[in-house]
Amino acid sequence: MKHLIDFIETKDVTKASIFEHLKCTEEEALLVQYLCKRYVSGLEEVSVLEMLQEHFSAIGYVYLEKLDLVKNLLDLGWMIQVSFGQMKAHESSKLELLSTSVTPSISLLRLLEEGSLEILLPEIKPYTDHLEYLQDQFDMVALLHNIATFKQGFADNSLSIGRLKNKLSLLTTRIEERVKMTEAPIVVEEFFKEKELDEKEKRIFLALLKEEYSGGEGHFREMNTLIELISFDEYDKIKNRSLLEDGARLISEEIIDYEEILNMFGGVSRSFYLQEEVMQRIIHSTKTKKVTKLKLDALVKDQEIFEYLKPTTTLDDVVLHPKTRETLDNVIKQVDKEVFRKLKEWGIKDKKGIDARIIFYGAAGTGKTMTAMSLAKTLRKPILSFDCSKILSMYVGESEKNVRKIFDDFKELSIKAKVEPILLLNEADQFLSSRSEGTGSSADKMHNQMQNIFLEQIEKFEGILIATTNLLGNIDKAFSRRFNHKIEFKKPGKRQRLMLWQFMLPENADYEEGFTIEDLAGHELTGGQINLIIKNTAYKVAVRDESVFSLQDFLEEIEKELGSSFDGSKSMGFKV
């Protein structure tokens, strides 16, 4: 108790060992000293009015001007109000403080007992096993919970929160350094890398894992509690709810799941937990499985039919017609439990997951393939693409048999990788076009047979299938009935072109004075053409000593792309 005795007995509080940790003025420290003296003499609560009158003159009501000192000490977290109901200190007026009493906070008592609130960490060493690693991570979760609790308190404990955040930063750095030093694989870290979880998803995972290890009664299972752990403010909380809603990666990839329970207020809340397969993998990390899960991209490399696409954009990054976005949003919402419940009740669906067969049609360069890829990234699903224009050249004489093979191989890859990818059929015109009438030639018969098999496979397909085509006018009615959605991709209008130019132009480049996108958006171009023009212009500008983009640079490339430059092009490089 030397720090406590030193503080209450010293005549000059600025010389006390704990003064530098208080982060307050000398006058404020004197009030803290008075509070501590009364506390050790058996008076747990002290009237604010009495404390101020003891230290400052009542003549001219000078002590009223010192109410700011008390308010600041409450904000710093060294004092706690005990007779002001549940109103926060910063919500009360200064005069209202006169009718309250204060008592030392737990943080102050700890400071007086230990002399410091700084965290002392042992020497950094490699982890000996994953349990040692988990203990550090669980300490991190506990700190996050303490910070969230302080934020919900009835005073602005900014100093206490600041110290907790400092501890969190030190512990997080310590974990990172110990992981780097550890040569043996840590099962949880390996899992994080495999699933490509971000920091917030990791914290949710670790909180639920802590709950499993501690055998708790649901302390970290409730949705709002988990969101508090990863949020800085109210806006953050609203934004982070998406991480625990249907369609979120943690749920869609079957890492976590939830149960809906009736709470005491008559409402329904969600209680989250880790999936059993994930728990077994973490808890029994020393047991090696005979069969390992193969990654889809590695499997695709060993065959010649499909191309594995890795999307870089979500639907939020794509300029779409509002009706198109609404349609795709409705497809995404099929994973919502309440939506599925209704569909199952109505006899429309009998199993979870998204069931959608979609045609994207429109001119080349209007964003059909990009939208399909963006939908895949939004759903956090892999996407396998097949170029339908190659079916005849690849399988001459065996086209009918190999149409079935496309779907069989797709299903086999999905089973082996234990994932549900999106199947993208690009350039599907010949599959979808109207079938030939009458006997016709052998080529017509083969084409009709191929289409019949394709029709049969679409009928049986489970999951998400997207077919792209430039023309819809010649589509066979039988195919039209098999697709849930037919979405047209028109050439963008001026407003969409403005958005495309803004989105695609390099952010870190230099542009000439007076450069405006309005002059570019006036030209009727597709998104694909705009992308190509920007790339070609960049190649031209990059070789200059002063790489500044000018409007003329873009206009020259636009002229070439639209074809007018071919009529009056000059000979280059040769003399005739």
- The whole-number average pLDDT for the span 466-485 is 80
Taking the C-alpha atoms of residue 555 and residue 130, their distance in angstroms, rounded to an integer, is 60
- The whole-number average pLDDT for the span 445-462 is 83
Give domain status of residue 288, yes or no. Answer: no
216 and 232 in a single domain? The answer is yes
342 and 429 in a single domain? The answer is yes
Taking the C-alpha atoms of residue 34 and residue 31, their distance in angstroms, rounded to an integer, is 5
145 and 202 in a single domain? The answer is yes
Give domain status of residue 135, yes or no. Answer: yes
Total residues belonging to the chain: 576
454 and 409 in a single domain? The answer is yes
Per-residue pLDDT reduced to its tens digit, 53-68:
988 887 888 888 889 8
Note down the domain range covering 196: 130-283
CATH of the domain at 477: 3.40.50.300
Question: What is the secondary structure of 12-27 as a DSSP string?
Answer: SGGGSTTHHHH-S-HH
Nearest of 424, 406, 427, 431 to residue 464 by alpha carbon: 424
Among the ranges 403-412, 464-473, 563-572, which has the highest mean pLDDT value?
A: 403-412
Work out whether the CA dihedral 189, 193, 194, 199 comes out positive or negative: positive
Q: pLDDT band at 153, cuts 50/70/90? A: low
Give domain status of residue 125, yes or no. Answer: no
The contacts of residue 94 (CB under 8 Å, 6+ apart) are 67, 68, 71
528 and 456 in a single domain? The answer is no
Judge residue 214's burial from the number of C-beta atoms within 10 Å of its C-beta, 0-12 exposed, 13-18 middle, 19 or more buried: exposed
501 and 469 in a single domain? The answer is no
Question: What is the secondary structure of 475-533 as a DSSP string?
Answer: B-HHHHHH-SEEEEEPPP-HHHHHHHHHHHS-TT-EE-TT--THHHHTS---HHHHHHH
Nearest of 141, 115, 125, 159 to residue 17 by alpha carbon: 115
Taking the C-alpha atoms of residue 70 and residue 89, their distance in angstroms, rounded to an integer, is 10
412 and 300 in a single domain? The answer is yes
465 and 552 in a single domain? The answer is no
Nearest of 354, 383, 371, 373 to residue 488 by alpha carbon: 371
Give domain status of residue 290, yes or no. Answer: no
**SS3 for 88?**
coil
414 and 274 in a single domain? The answer is no
471 and 525 in a single domain? The answer is no
Determine contact, residues 159/76, Cβ cutoff 8 Å.
yes
The tally of domains found in the chain comes to 4
User: Which of the residue ranges 4-18, 80-94, 418-432 would you say has the lowest mean pLDDT?
Assistant: 80-94
Per-residue pLDDT reduced to its tens digit, 428-453:
877 777 666 655 666 677 777 888 88
Q: What's the longest Cα–Cα distance across the chain?
A: 114
309 and 455 in a single domain? The answer is yes
Give domain status of residue 446, yes or no. Answer: yes
pTM: 0.49
Per-residue pLDDT reduced to its tens digit, 519-545:
899 898 988 899 899 999 999 999 999
Q: pLDDT band at 289, cuts 50/70/90? A: very low
Per-residue pLDDT reduced to its tens digit, 548-566:
999 999 999 999 988 754 4
254 and 109 in a single domain? The answer is no
